[in-house]
């Protein structure tokens, strides 16, 4: 049984004058011990989907519909006390910017110890001992001294390691990572990615990793879900999606990266236009105005998911045309 089951998830923000459907009918599953990368441009609905798994979207200004089950629990049906126990124990999250997620007025050791004491009911000494062991495991130098440090006294990479230690402190079954390497330099990014992969294998975690970086997705993922305009437009095993992309948006993302076939001084290919206004989506395929394969039918007919391989789906009316492009995409 999958640890994460998402069926027809819809998240609509209602705080403004016009409702904004940020997520529109997402279906996803994640197995235990598996890493799923959610890939897409800013505004595609990746982070909103991730936050829906822990009910972190503002409840007074958003509406969540559909089914979200994590480790057999219906997230939407959890009461306040149950939700508090769920966050940290069943699912934990690594945020993009740890300096905003960590409390600036408490030491890192205090913050981790508090989470452990709340969820496990152990003493402060036991909780601090676990915090120290976690700091050692995530390779924070001088861990005893760093436990007494405040977030602003740590570098960006060390703060992110502390954030990972905090997320793992209550031994969750599911780890959610919301672009945890975006604010870090390239060398530290690689270190964090390797660390997350090691910890995932060591603790048997299921991981959902949100990113806009294809290179990051390739490094961490077993499977990839590509999102656009609040929908999953392509999903499947990582190697299959990267080597045999079948949605024009995925093909555009792959072509827009630097690769070995790109001549020195040549311009990168780009996807024309901009993501659509979610409050005013076109009637057909939302990617049609930017798509190099779009026909008149694409502008009026919303595509459903089409099977294009083993466990591989693409939400596109032109999968026949994308199949003909596969040799050129693979060469690039």
Please tell me the pTM assigned to this model: 0.91
> Regarding predicted confidence, which is higher, 227 or 323?
227
State the pLDDT confidence band at 261, using cuts at 50, 70 and 90: low
Residue 96: the pLDDT is 82
* Element of type H or E holding 213: none
pLDDT digits (tens, 9 = 90+) for 309-326: 999 999 999 999 988 887
Beta strands 312-314 and 306-309, pairing class: antiparallel
Task: Provide the edge-to-edge strand list for the sheet that holds 206-211.
Answer: 91-94, 174-178, 206-211, 35-39, 223-228, 231-237, 312-314, 306-309
* Element of type H or E holding 62: strand 62-70
Does pLDDT of 328 surpass 80? no
Residue 195: the pLDDT is 87
Residue 324: the pLDDT is 82
Q: What is the CA radius of gyration of the chain?
A: 21
Structural domain boundaries in the chain: 99-171, 245-331
Closest alpha carbon to 232 in 15, 32, 49: 49
Residue 117: the pLDDT is 94
What SS3 state is found at 206? strand
pLDDT digits (tens, 9 = 90+) for 73-104: 999 999 999 999 999 999 999 988 888 889 99
Average pLDDT score, the chain: 90
Structure letter (DSSP) for residue 226: E
Instruction: Tell me the average pLDDT across 180-207.
Output: 85
Does pLDDT of 332 surpass 70? no
């Amino acid at each position: 049984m999958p640890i994460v089951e998402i069926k027809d998830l819809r998240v609509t923000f209602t705080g403004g004058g016009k409702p904004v459907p940020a997520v529109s009918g997402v279906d996803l599953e994640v197995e235990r011990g598996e890493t799923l990368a959610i890939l897409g441009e800013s505004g595609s609905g990746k982070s909103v989907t991730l936050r829906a798994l822990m009910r972190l979207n503002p409840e007074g200004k958003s509406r969540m519909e559909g089914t979200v089950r994590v480790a057999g629990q219906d997230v939407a049906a959890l009461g306040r006390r149950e939700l508090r126990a769920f966050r940290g124990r069943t699912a934990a999250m690594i945020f993009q910017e740890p300096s905003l997620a960590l409390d600036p007025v408490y030491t890192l050791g205090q913050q981790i110890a508090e989470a452990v004491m709340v969820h496990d009911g152990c003493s402060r000494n036991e909780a601090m001992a676990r915090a120290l062991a976690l700091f050692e495991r995530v390779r924070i130098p001088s861990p005893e001294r760093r436990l007494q440090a405040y977030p602003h006294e740590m570098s960006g990479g060390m703060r992110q390691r502390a954030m990972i230690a905090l997320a793992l402190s209550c031994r969750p079954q599911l780890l959610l990572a919301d672009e945890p390497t975006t604010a870090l330099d390239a060398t530290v990014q690689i270190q964090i990615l390797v660390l997350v992969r090691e910890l995932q294998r060591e603790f048997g975690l299921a991981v959902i990793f949100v990113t806009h970086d294809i290179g990051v997705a390739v490094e961490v993922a077993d499977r990839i879900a590509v999102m656009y305009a609040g929908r999953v437009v392509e999903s499947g095993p990582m190697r299959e999606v990267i080597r045999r992309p079948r949605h024009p948006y995925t093909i555009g993302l792959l072509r827009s990266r630097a690769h070995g076939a790109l001549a020195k001084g040549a311009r990168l290919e780009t996807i024309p236009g901009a993501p659509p206004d979610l409050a005013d989506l076109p009637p057909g395929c939302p990617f049609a105005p930017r798509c190099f394969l779009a026909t008149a039918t694409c502008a009026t007919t919303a595509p459903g998911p089409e099977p294009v391989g083993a466990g591989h789906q693409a939400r596109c009316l032109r999968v026949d045309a994308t199949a003909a492009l596969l040799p050129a995409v693979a060469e690039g």
